[in-house]
Amino acid sequence: MSATREDYPRLEQQIEWFDRNSARHQRWYRRLKVISIAAAALVPLVASLDEYAVFAGLLGVVLVIVEGLQHINQHHENWIRYRSTCENLRHEKYLYMAGAGSYEGQNDEQALRQLAARVESLLSRERDGWLQLRRSIGEQEGESSQSVSV
């Protein structure tokens, strides 16, 4: 049994999407972390120089903005979740292609139906996880705005 793009095109599309978006979130996460670490490391040095004290404050502002962007965009969490989903989809694809695991002994039609069911289950879990993360962020933002307005 050998899978082609025509067997289940959604699988290839989803693997490509999760791979591309995982890499994008990883790049953003790493960039923002480097900026955050550099700004945090420079604050004490710049603060110790009397004529540059205003720059210490600016570095603090940069640090807060970068960490806020990281929190809002969830680059680290999305990178890890998307990479995990991508690898799970690839795993399922390779088992299907090899006729191994739960696909062993099935005819092509049965195996393709099972592949579709398993892929859709993985995608459903990813969607549910994404919704849960969004709800969690919304609740945190609601709590922080309530504490500010009190």
Note the pLDDT tens digit of each residue in 64-92. Answer: 999 999 999 999 999 999 999 999 999 99
For residue 1, pLDDT beyond 70: no
What is residue 138's predicted lDDT score, i.e. its pLDDT? 73
Q: What are the residue ranges spanned by the domains of the chain?
A: 9-149
In sequence order, the 6+-apart residues with CB closer than 8 A to the CB of 123 are 14, 85
Q: Which of 84, 86, 82, 89 is nearest to 27 (CA)?
A: 82
Q: What does the mean pLDDT of the chain come to?
A: 89
- Tokens encoding 135: 């709800």
- Other beta carbons within 10 angstroms of residue 13's beta carbon come to 11
pTM of the shown model:
0.79
Phi, psi values for residue 13, rounded to 5°: -60, -45
List b or e across 68-103, with b for residues whose CB sees 16 or more CB atoms inside 10 angstroms. Answer: eebeeebbbbbbebbbebbebbeebbebbbeeeeeb
What is residue 147's predicted lDDT score, i.e. its pLDDT? 54
